[in-house]
Amino acid sequence: METKNYIFCALDFSDLEQTISFTKKIKDHVGGIKLGLEFFTKNGPRGVEKLKKMGLPIFLDLKLHDIPNTVKQSLRNVLDLSPNYVTVHLSGGYKMIQELKDIKQETKIIGISLLTSLNDEDLKNMGYNFGQKVFISNLVKAGVKAGVDGIVSSPKEVKELKKNYKDLIFVTPGIRLSTDKKDDQKRIESPRFAVQAGSNILVIGRPITKSKDPLKSIEKIIENIDHDK
């Protein structure tokens, strides 16, 4: 696989024209784009349709999480856009995820276990008496049983999960070079670490979108992945 195809740029903008303009700038240098709640709540399906015209794979990061029927109907609506990937929270439960299998068509359902902005201390504050390793393992096991196509996982968990779930698509946020700001990410690693661990898609936002030279930043990410190949 061409190295650039690992990179899905997280376009966490609200402004549609800004998003289109930025996509035009990077589209030949990345493997796809991720559109999240910040974009979708402002621009809706119309905005996604405009971005699809760029010809890049679309990762629609809506983090669906509700009662099974609500999530199923929401996914039906989203499928009209033919996204390549849609995210759901694994904590929505087995039934919520299982009911998506029959309607998902060609779209891949990607399960979210623990946000990379959270760690053991956060879990403790939320009332859990076990750490992130057990928390993630339990959710992934249930998600796989329910039929997810892939998992969102921090770089630190991918290698271990890959041993047991070789056929899953592993999507990894929390990617930073040593020179990047951590921002609000707590469980981070380098692009090369993530790819070597088994990640299939690297979701990278601010290190690219906040860069004074986005194309140079992408080039550095690709160089990091290719180093010592």
User: Which residues form the catalytic set?
Assistant: 63
Pair of tokens at residue 186: 């707590």
Cβ partners under 8 Å of residue 180, min gap 6: 206, 207
229 and 2 in contact (C-beta within 8 Å)?
Answer: no
What is the Cα 13 distance to its own chain's centre?
Answer: 16
- CA quadruple 145, 151, 152, 156: dihedral, nearest 10: 100
Using DSSP bridges, classify how beta strands 150-152 and 108-112 pair: parallel, antiparallel or unpaired.
Answer: parallel
193 and 155 in contact (C-beta within 8 Å)?
Answer: yes
Q: What count of other Cβ atoms lies within 10 Å of the Cβ of residue 53?
A: 9
For residue 90, give the nearest of 7, 153, 35, 174 by alpha carbon: 153
The span from the CA of 5 to the CA of 201, in Å, is: 8
For residue 7, give the nearest of 34, 25, 37 by alpha carbon: 34
